[in-house]
Amino acid sequence: MKKTVGFIGLGRMGTPMAMRLLNAGHSLCVFDIIPDAMKPFEEKGADTASSIKELASKADVIITIVPADKHIYDIYTGSDGIIDNAKEGLLCIEMTSAMGITLKKIKQYAEEKAKNISFVDAPVSGGVDGASNGTLTIMVGGEDKDIESAKPYLEILGSKLLYSGKLGDGKSVKMINQMLNALNTAAAAEAMYLAKELGIDTSILLDIVNNSSGGSWVMKNNVPKFMLTGNYDSGFKLGLMTKDLRLSASEADSNNLDLPLVKQALKEYEEAIAMMGENVNYNSVFEWVKNHNKREENKNEGN
């Protein structure tokens, strides 16, 4: 018997992901709090649900990708949520970039309710283009048997499935990757600002750095594409990167850890949002570095 796949969260990432599942021939039921987001799916023959409760009562597999941890909790543990209204043997694939502890707590909630539900966490990297083309990198955490059950769906959504460990570890690995990305970007922004102030040819600098120990993915790809062009209209948004960096700060606080670089970078990203808004590309932190130094120069001139 054909399984029904429920999909919750039809945002910039969720919509193309869900559409790939529908186009691959899966029986799909979708839900989003914005009714208009469901219309393209209804027009293509997918089922639409008026509530999470309705979707949960129909689906054999549920995939969720929503803004943040709070939304995950609400969707899964609310009185009209997934767990209280799930079919027997439900498989849940949670793909939001969030804290690893979140899904562990949700699984515990399901166990306390004596619900036979399996969970896999599977956050993604690759952006909207990757979601549209099925080329996402997916960091998968969970029990082996549950991951095997999830693979037929995940393989439609991504070209790289990376085993990350136990349930929740996929989210933690994604979080740490984003933390490094944010820190590398902040460091690259300062390096490029210093180079320009010293009158160094940036193309020569990049060639040398990217063949030396200071090189990084950011220096090779994002510096020439964004920082050196000043075009921040496309790609991963500053608000989303700040949200992801905030996850690392929260995890550190929860575990009584001190991560000074994360704290400093988060401050810079939050100030960059105040300066330019959330919707520019996150490499625009370079503009914050330039503006910050101009402010410091003006302060010194005023003394």
Token pair in block for residue 49: 């649900």
Q: What are the backbone angles phi and psi of residue 135, rounded to the nearest 5°?
A: -115, 20
Question: What letter does residue 154 receive in the DSSP assignment?
Answer: H
Which active-site residues does the annotation give? 174
**Spatial CA neighbour of 122 closest among 63, 71, 180, 176:** 63
Q: Across the strands, what pairs with 47?
A: 29
Report whether 158 contacts 110 (CB < 8 A).
no
**Spatial CA neighbour of 268 closest among 284, 280, 253:** 284
Report whether 286 contacts 225 (CB < 8 A).
no
Number of H helices and E strands in the chain, helices first, is 13, 9
